Amino acid sequence: MAPPPGTTSNGMAATGKADLGRTDLGRAEPGKTDPGKTDPGKADTAKTEPPHLPAFGADPHAADTGPHVRLLRKAARVLLERLPQLSDRLVASLYEHEASYRDGPVPPDDLWQGCHESLRSALLALLAPAEAGDANPQTWRLGRRRAEQGLPLEALLHAYRIGGVIVWQSLVEITVEREPQDVHELVHAATTVWNAVDHHSTIVADAYRSLANDLSSHHHERTRALLDSLLDGRAEPADISAAATVLDLPEDGRYAVGMLRHARPGTGQHDGPRPSGTESAHLLWRSRADAEFAVALLHNGAAEGEVLDGLAKALRPSAGSRVGIGLVVDGLAELGRARRFAEVALRTCAADGEVARLDQRLPAAMVACQADLSGALATRTFGAVLALDPGDRDVLLGTLAAWFDAGGSAARAGARLFCHRNTVLNRLRRLEQLTGRDLGLPRDLVELGLALDAYRLSGG
| Contact between 157 and 98 (Cβ < 8 Å) | no
Q: What would you report as the CA-atom Rg of the chain, rounded to the nearest whole angstrom? A: 35
Based on the domain organization, do 431 and 302 belong to the same domain? no
Distance, in Å, from the CA atom of 347 to the CA atom of 372, rounded to the nearest integer, reads: 15
Of the ranges 90-104, 204-218, 289-303, 321-335, which one carries the lowest mean pLDDT score? 204-218
Of the ranges 96-105, 225-234, 378-387, which one carries the lowest mean pLDDT score? 96-105
Based on the domain organization, do 3 and 100 belong to the same domain? yes
Give the H or E element holding residue 176. Answer: helix 153-178
- Residue 317 inside a domain? The answer is yes
**Is residue 165 pLDDT above 50, yes or no?**
yes
- Residue 366 inside a domain? The answer is no
Check residue 266 and give its pLDDT.
Answer: 47
Over range 216-230, report the average pLDDT.
83
Based on the domain organization, do 205 and 282 belong to the same domain? no
- Residue 228 inside a domain? The answer is yes
Strands (E), 244-289: 254-262, 281-287
Check residue 62 and give its pLDDT.
Answer: 46
Reported as a single tens digit per residue, the pLDDT across 19-43 is: 333 334 443 433 344 443 434 344 4
What is the signed CA dihedral for 334, 336, 339, 341, rounded to 10 degrees?
Answer: -60
The number of CA neighbours under 13 Å toward the Cβ of 106 is 29
- Residue 195 inside a domain? The answer is yes
**Is residue 253 pLDDT above 90, yes or no?**
yes
CA angle 70, 71, 76 (to 5 degrees): 100
Q: Mapping DSSP to helix (H, G, I), strand (E, B) and coil, where does residue 356 land?
A: strand
**Is residue 334 pLDDT above 80, yes or no?**
yes
Based on the domain organization, do 340 and 237 belong to the same domain? no
Domain that holds residue 312: 252-361
Residue after which a domain boundary falls, among 361, 396, 426: 361
Distance, in Å, from the CA atom of 393 to the CA atom of 265, rounded to the nearest integer, reads: 33
Based on the domain organization, do 263 and 244 belong to the same domain? no
Based on the domain organization, do 350 and 215 belong to the same domain? no
**Is residue 268 pLDDT above 70, yes or no?**
no
Based on the domain organization, do 181 and 84 belong to the same domain? yes
Check residue 14 and give its pLDDT.
Answer: 35
Based on the domain organization, do 244 and 261 belong to the same domain? no
Reported as a single tens digit per residue, the pLDDT across 278-310 is: 889 999 998 887 788 999 999 998 899 999 998
**Is residue 13 pLDDT above 50, yes or no?**
no
Domain at 425, CATH number: 1.10.10.2840
User: How many domains would you assign to the chain?
Assistant: 3
- Residue 289 inside a domain? The answer is yes
**Is residue 86 pLDDT above 90, yes or no?**
yes
Residue after which a domain boundary falls, among 307, 340, 361: 361
| Contact between 388 and 396 (Cβ < 8 Å) | yes
Distance, in Å, from the CA atom of 275 to the CA atom of 284, rounded to the nearest integer, reads: 9
Based on the domain organization, do 331 and 450 belong to the same domain? no
**Is residue 345 pLDDT above 80, yes or no?**
yes
Based on the domain organization, do 82 and 156 belong to the same domain? yes
Q: Can you give the length of the chain in residues?
A: 460
Residue after which a domain boundary falls, among 335, 361, 387: 361
Based on the domain organization, do 433 and 336 belong to the same domain? no
- Residue 450 inside a domain? The answer is yes
Based on the domain organization, do 91 and 215 belong to the same domain? yes
List C-alpha distances in Å: 453 to 219, 317, 373, 397, 431. Answer: 45, 22, 12, 11, 16
